[in-house]
Amino acid sequence: MTSYHQITLKVNGETEVVNVPANMTMMVMLREELGLTGVKNGCAAGECGACTVLMNGEPVNSCMVLAAECDGAEVITIEGLSHNGQLIKLQEMLIAKGGVQCGFCTPGMLISAFALLKRNPDPSENEIREALIGNLCRCTGYVRIIDAVKASVEK
Amino acid sequence: MLNPHPGLPEFTYVKPASLDEACGFLVDHAGEVRLISGGTDLLVRMRDKAFKPAYVVDIKGLEGTDVLAFDPKSGLRIGAAVPMNRVVAHPDVQKHYPLLAKAAKSVASYQLRNRATIVGNICNASPAGDTLGACLVLGGRLNIYGKDGERFEDLVTFFKGPGKTSLQPGEIVISISFPLPEKGAKGTYLKLGRNKLSDLAIVGVTVYGFPDKMIESGFRIKVALTSVAATPLMPPVVETVLSEKEITEDTIQKAANASMDACFPIDDVRGSARYRKEMVRNLTRNAITEVWGQLQSGTKNRLEANR
């Protein structure tokens, strides 16, 4: 029997109250209860990183978290990265360097890169590669994405 | 296939407020419960219908599960709900237990390690668990809570088979503790995956050594093998080969061969048994050579410092 849980969380700065079944993942809650479809459903097994969001400031695979576990959490999705339509430098560079093709990996990739720059504002190429291991891209071959992250921290 | 990602099967999520409550629930619903900490393995198994628990009990928030503390007298304690990234980033772990940090860092990706825990890796008891070798050679000891109170168990006796441990119904692992590392200790974890980073291990070899005057060779060297048998292995014969006489290229090769003979891997999607055996030999040789080199330069530095 599935239990239901009323949870309160902050998503992209807004307080949300949702009633979720125990077997709903955070990814499904964000997409289907809150309409944040920038969170992508890729492998649903913690491998591809397309559903990556920030939970309490740290990137997690939202497919690997139960919605019921999110009570009291602060979540940032790709929708919360830019403010009033103003892209952050990382997003601008990803476009400028050709790091977006089909776009499916892009939200997760940006969240992972954003989290990297928050904990390490001047990463080496190796550190960028390590931080993005959990984000798979089948279009760009990664080089342009890595270039974009590098370009976003250049002065 | 209309829905390539079927959702999770139905279950009831329970978040107990105390260890006693959690324990009582586990006893009352024996066989119907799975514990969740990071959930990185559990949710995949549930989605694939390998596990169909009626209840999922969240252990995060229970007493002692959030502890990550180093004491210069007694060593390190890691709670069951501490994600691997916290362990990797802890300055005392980096300073005193670099082997553990290295092993934890080899698990999957950064975002997965924000959820995955070391105690979860242990309780999951996959023979391929990346942190198991380091936890074994570092002398890990589990703090287990059950209906009769707390008990302690050395990790060496904990694994009983793939997914099987010595945990009794109603028992919860609260934390794992490590004694202070031996003086001058060096270690490494070599992992063979299908790609260079982030994959599950086809073969994992952990080597940990330290100077010991009571031993003929002058060094005690422990070797743990993962992904090559139903449980992680620490073959005593390998340790014996490395302790009986002076360590040379020849003894290292003998130890590597002994490792190969001591394991009994299976064929699976990641590699054949025969391939695994040969890789155990090669990785063991490489790992011991690496650690041996570090131990020798460590000894030399100490001699020079004492001069």
- Per DSSP, the three-state class of B123 is helix
- Pair type for strands A14-21 and A4-11: antiparallel
Record: contact B7-A28, CB cut-off 8 A: yes
Q: Which option is the CATH number for A89-153: 1.10.150.120, 3.30.70.260, 3.10.20.30, 1.10.599.10? A: 1.10.150.120
For residue B34, count other CB atoms closer than 10 A to its CB: 16
What residues of chain B have any CB closer than 8 angstroms to a CB in chain A? Answer: 5, 7-15, 36, 38-40, 43-44, 47, 54, 56, 58, 60, 85, 108-112, 114-115, 197-198
pLDDT for res A122: 96
- Pair type for strands B186-192 and B203-211: antiparallel
List chain B residues with pLDDT less than 70: 1-6, 196-198, 302-303, 305-307
Record: contact B11-A65, CB cut-off 8 A: no
Q: Which of B114, B130, B196 to mutate to test the interface with A (most CBs of A within 10 A)?
A: B114
The DSSP code sequence of A38-73 is TS--S-SSSSS-TTEEEETTEEEEGGGSBGGGGTT-
Residues of chain B contacting A69 with CB distance shorter than 8 Å: 36, 39, 58, 60
Yes or no: say if B133 and B206 are a contact pair by the CB < 8 Å rule. yes
Q: Which of B134, B124, B77, B76 is nearest to B103 (CA)?
A: B134
Ordered by start, the domain boundaries in chain A are 4-80, 89-153
Q: Pick B10's closest partner by Cβ from A1, A41, A134.
A: A1
CA distances from B285 to A50, B103, B187, B198, B295 (A): 39, 18, 13, 23, 15
What six digits make up the tokens of B160? Answer: 């009983």
Residues of chain A contacting B14 with CB distance shorter than 8 Å: 3
Q: Which tens digits make up the pLDDT trace of B195-218?
A: 766 678 899 999 999 999 999 999
> Under CATH, to which class is B186-302 assigned?
alpha beta
pLDDT for res B5: 60
Yes or no: say if A78 and A69 are a contact pair by the CB < 8 Å rule. no
- Per DSSP, the three-state class of A86 is strand
Residue of B nearest to A5 (CA): B13
Residues of chain B contacting A60 with CB distance shorter than 8 Å: 111, 114-115
Record: contact B43-A25, CB cut-off 8 A: yes
Instruction: Report how far residue A3's alpha carbon sits from residue A40's, in angstroms, rounded to the nearest whole number.
Output: 26
> Under CATH, to which class is B7-181 assigned?
alpha beta
Q: Pick A59's closest partner by Cβ from B10, B47, B114.
A: B114
The DSSP code sequence of B43-68 is HHHHHTTS---SEEEE-TTSTTTT-E
Q: Which secondary structure element, helix H or strand E, spans residue B94, and what is its range?
A: helix B91-96
Instruction: Report how far residue A154's alpha carbon sits from residue B154's, in angstroms, rounded to the nearest whole number.
Output: 50
pLDDT for res A114: 98
- Per DSSP, the three-state class of A25 is strand
pLDDT for res A69: 98
Record: contact A49-B39, CB cut-off 8 A: no
Ordered by start, the domain boundaries in chain B are 7-181, 186-302
Give, for all 155 residues of chain A, the pLDDT tens digit. Answer: 899 999 999 999 999 999 999 999 999 999 999 999 999 999 999 999 999 999 999 999 999 999 999 999 999 999 999 988 899 999 999 999 999 999 999 999 999 999 999 999 999 999 999 999 999 999 988 999 999 999 999 87
Architecture of domain A4-80: Roll (3.10)
Q: Which of A51, A55, A69 to mutate to test the interface with B (most CBs of B within 10 A)?
A: A69
Residue of B nearest to A55 (CA): B114
ipTM score for this prediction: 0.95
Q: Which of A139, A115, A140 is nearest to A130 (CA)?
A: A115
Q: Pick A44's closest partner by Cβ from B5, B11, B115.
A: B5
pLDDT for res B2: 44
Residues of chain A contacting B36 with CB distance shorter than 8 Å: 66, 69
pLDDT for res B298: 82
Yes or no: say if A27 and A62 are a contact pair by the CB < 8 Å rule. yes
Size of interface A-B (CB pairs under 8 A): 95
Record: contact B197-A23, CB cut-off 8 A: no
pLDDT for res B307: 61
